[in-house]
Amino acid sequence: MTYNKDVLGTQFTLELSSYALELISRVNDVSEAISLLLAKVGKQFSLSHITVLEKQRNLPCFMATYEWHTAENEPMRNHIITYTEELKEVFFERRDQSEELFTLQELKGMKEAKNIIPIIEQNKADNVILCALKQKEKFIGFLNIETRNGIDKFSEEEISAFLQTKRILENFFLVCRANQEAQRRIEQVTLFDPVTGLIKYDSFLEQAELIYKNDLNNQYILFYADINNFKYFNETYGYAAGDEVLRLFEQHFMSQSSRYMIGSRIFSDYFIGMTSLRGPIIERKLIQETQMLSYSFQKKIQSIYPESSIHIAAGVILIDNKNLDLQTYIDNANQARKIAKFNRINCVLFDKDMEAERKKYYRITSIAEEALKNNEFYFELQPKIDLRTKRIVGAEALARWARPDGTVVYPNEFIPIFEQNGFITKLDFYVYGKVCEYLLNRIRNGMEIVPISVNVSRVHLKQDNFAKKVIRLVEQYRIPPKYLEFELTENIFLENSEQAKKTLMELKKYDFKVSMDDFGSGFSSLNLLMNLEFDILKLDKDFLTDNIITKKEEVVIKSIIRMAKLMKMTVLCEGVETKEQVDFLERMQCDMVQGYYFGKPMKTELFEICMSS
């Protein structure tokens, strides 16, 4: 809208200028001056709203920072206008007219202003004027003026007063900025991550919360990522190189990709980002994009540090409805990240099933300690049978959880969760302790005993004192080590091979038996068998999926058994359920079996009855 400059010198505009000067000398704080100025203009022209929407530093959006409105009208405080380059062009870069004001009707016709319309319409104004606030060639915000008096046009006098208000505000902001600049220097030190320049996590939370609560029009994506093997990278290449990787991550994922409108490094190598969605969401595309970005980042680092092997694991979540609080979305994105990390993939999009999983995780982890104190955990024994004599020659202790309501929870429900939160190390030692107690009791009473095997979670191997701890335990109970056997799964050796090898040697040195559990269920490596001295090889139940064993399978099983025996290992086959399987394994000269055919895991009392019969 153009206006007639001749009317600028009207009575009220002059009055405004002297009022502004007076304000500046009278009030201590420019903010107060701005509020008083808005109130004066608002009252003078019987406006419903007069609002300053300021562009936010670090955020591509405008928020209402100062406003005056009549009592019967809602504040605009909670509105956010997303900043776009198009919007900037409309309000700022078209310099063909010396000043620009837009009425609601004009704005409605512009697709560039589509973010603004719903916000203004909410106020149900009859007449609206929006003008850009500029400062030193910069677009700093809007002055929004609204009336609800049934008149849909402002007079020229009114418009000139509004323009004068706008100019005074621009000057006020100049003063504000000078103060803020000093403040900003101080903030720079305290608010920003010195390594990446990103805002610190608490500021991120504050800003994200603000956007989340107030922007009802847009959908958002939350991204939570970490750099796997970063610790190892730091140790290998030094911390300066590590910092460089963090900076490159920021450039790659945050600033250069212009994807994430706010981002932060939570701590160490954990990053978070949030952005509004442009256009409809295509989930597959979102995952693909994140994967590509991760992949190109990994390649970039590898080109600088060829021996490095960092891996990005990212969890992404869509904030589509706002029924949950922001923290829940962050937790959910983090959970998706953990799944990505666990499966060594670059990106996982959070879904509802994961939410159920996470609830289960919290439910189970929150009651675990108490349950352990209340002796809700116990073990059952599953017999191991010598195939030649068909006698029980050992047993495996398997953890069970008896809930106070009488239900029994099986390990598949709780072990993976306890491995995540680390509680498994406590539970395992609890089980080992109970097994020792059981063995001691039988030894003291002169009863027959067979070796009992216990399972070792891979989590123990993250520390190097596992062997020492079990040795201390059996010494405390005075159990001959030959009665205790430790089952280690092959993934232990894949993840933490040096530590695992060392532990295995220590256990064997002390005379414990050590078995490789679930052989053939994962990425079995024959190398492992060659390099490590296991006493027993436990073939996974997957080897016996079918009752009809094909020729090929027969060849594989036969070769494994033969090879194991050449390496002086005893071979046990797990999950034996039928007579046919028993006969087959006998032919293959398998030494031992364990499975439902001979006995399910059972309470110790029942096991003793089986032993003596």
Provide the CA 491 distance to its chain's centre, in angstroms: 24
Residue closer to ligand C2E (CB basis): 334 or 457? 457
> How many residues bind to ligand C2E according to rule CB under 6 A?
24
As beta bridge partners, residue 599 has none
* Interacting partner of 160 out of ligand C2E, Mg ion, none (Cβ under 5 to 8 A depending on kind): none
Q: Which of residues 468-487 bind ligand C2E (CB under 6 A)?
A: 487
Instruction: Kindly report the backbone phi and psi dihedral angles of residue 98, in degrees, each rounded to the nearest multiple of 5, phi listed first.
Output: -65, -35
Which residues contribute to the site for Mg ion (CB under 5 A)? 455, 487, 517-518, 574
What does 596 interact with, of ligand C2E, Mg ion, none (CB < 5 to 8 A by kind)? Answer: ligand C2E
Distance CA 584, CA 586 (A): 5
Tell me the two tokens of residue 33: 């001056």
CA 84 to chain centre: 29
Q: Where in 565-584 is the site for ligand C2E (CB under 6 A)?
A: 574-577
Nearer to ligand C2E, 270 or 430 (CB): 430
**Would you count residue 226 as binding ligand C2E (CB under 6 A)?**
no
Pick from 346, 457, 503, 515: which binds ligand C2E (CB under 6 A)?
457
Residue 506 beta carbon to ligand C2E: minimum distance, rounded to whole angstroms: 18
Q: Which is nearer to ligand C2E, 144 or 594 (CB)?
A: 594
Separation CA 503–CA 509 (nearest Å): 10
CB of residue 515 to Mg ion, shortest distance in Å: 8
Near ligand C2E by CB under 6 A: residue from 455, 503, 515, 570: 455
Closest approach, Cβ 483 to Mg ion, in A, equals 17
Q: How many CB atoms lie within 10 A of CB 356?
A: 10
**Residue 412 found at the interface with ligand C2E (CB under 6 A):** yes
Do 54 and 63 touch, CB atoms closer than 8 A?
yes
Q: Beta strand 127-135 with 101-103: parallel, antiparallel or unpaired?
A: antiparallel
457 contacts which partner out of Mg ion, ligand C2E, none, CB within 5 to 8 A by kind? ligand C2E
The full DSSP string for 282-308 is: -HHHHHHHHHHHHHHHHHHHHHHSTT-
User: What's the closest the beta carbon of residue 427 comes to ligand C2E, in angstroms?
Assistant: 7
**DSSP element (H, E) containing 181:** helix 156-191
Residue 232 binds which of ligand C2E, Mg ion, none (CB < 5-8 A, kind-dependent):
none
Please give the full DSSP string across 50-78, using - where no structure is assigned. Answer: EEEEEEPTTSSEEEEEEEEE-TTS---TT
Task: To the nearest 10°, report the CA torsion of 341, 414, 477, 611.
Answer: -120
Given 80, 424, 435, 564, the residue binding ligand C2E (CB under 6 A):
424
435: contact with ligand C2E by CB under 6 A: no
| Minimum CB–partner distance for residue 410 and ligand C2E (Å) | 5
Q: Which stretch binds ligand C2E (CB under 6 A): 87-95, 124-132, 217-225, 589-597?
A: 589-597
Residue 577 interacts with, from Mg ion, ligand C2E, none (CB under 5-8 Å by kind): ligand C2E
Which DSSP string corresponds to 111-155?
Answer: GGGTTTHHHHHTTT-SEEEEEEEEETTEEEEEEEEEE-SS-----
- For the CB of residue 470, give the shortest distance to ligand C2E in the complex, in Å: 13
Concatenated DSSP letters of 221-288? EEEEEEEETHHHHHHHH-HHHHHHHHHHHIIIIIITT---SEEEEEETTEEEEEEEPPSS--HHHHHH
Q: What span, in angstroms and rounded, lies between the C-alpha atoms of 265 and 99?
A: 42
Q: Does 415 bind ligand C2E (CB under 6 A)?
A: yes
Nearer to Mg ion, 158 or 487 (CB): 487
The CA distance from 155 to 4, in Å, is 11
Residue type, 123: N
Distances (CA, A) of 389 to 116, 392, 547, 591, 610: 84, 9, 23, 10, 15
Beta carbon nearer to Mg ion, 158 or 517: 517
Q: Please report how close the Cβ of residue 480 comes to Mg ion at its closest, in angstroms.
A: 21
Cα 373 to its chain centre, rounded Å, is 31
Q: Output 69 or 538, the one with its CB closest to Mg ion.
A: 538
Report in angstroms how near the CB of residue 600 gets to ligand C2E at its nearest.
Answer: 7
Kindly calculate the radius of gyration of the chain based on its CA atoms and give it in whole angstroms.
35
| Whole-number Å distance between alpha carbons of 536 and 571 | 6
Question: Which of 232, 239, 267, 410 forms a contact with ligand C2E (CB under 6 A)?
Answer: 410
* CB 243, min distance to ligand C2E, A: 38
Cβ-based nearer residue to ligand C2E, 295 or 430:
430
Beta strands, E only, 368-443: 377-386, 392-402, 408-409
Q: Which residue has the tokens 């005056």?
A: 68
Contact flag: residue 54 with ligand C2E (CB under 6 A): no
Spatial neighbors of 161 by CB under 8 A, at least 6 apart, are 10, 12, 13, 16, 41, 44, 45
Contact between 514 and ligand C2E per CB under 6 A: no
Q: How far is the CB of 251 from ligand C2E (least distance, A)?
A: 42
Residue 431 interacts with which of ligand C2E, Mg ion, none, CB < 5 to 8 Å by class: ligand C2E
Looking at the Cβ atoms of 263 and 575, the one nearer to ligand C2E is 575
For the four alpha carbons of 245, 250, 251 and 252, in that order, the dihedral sign comes to positive
**452 lies in the site for ligand C2E, by CB under 6 A:** no
Angle between helices 352-373 and 326-342 (to 10 degrees): 90
CB of 454 to ligand C2E, least distance (A): 6
Q: Which residue do the tokens 């970063």 mark?
A: 230
Nearer to ligand C2E, 242 or 601 (CB): 601
Site for ligand C2E in 590-609 (CB under 6 A): 594-596, 601
Name the segment binding ligand C2E (CB under 6 A); options: 259-267, 318-326, 407-415, 605-613. 407-415
Give the interface segment with ligand C2E, choosing from 44-52, 211-219, 289-297, 424-432 (CB under 6 A): 424-432
Using CB under 6 A as the binding rule, whether residue 518 contacts ligand C2E is answered as: yes
Contact pattern from residue 370 through residue 399 relative to ligand C2E, giving x for each residue in contact according to CB under 6 A and a dash for the rest: ------------x---------------xx
Count of all residues that appear for the chain in the document: 613
541 binds ligand C2E (CB under 6 A): yes
Residues binding ligand C2E (CB under 6 A): 382, 398-399, 410-412, 415, 424, 428, 431, 455, 457, 487, 517-518, 541, 574-577, 594-596, 601
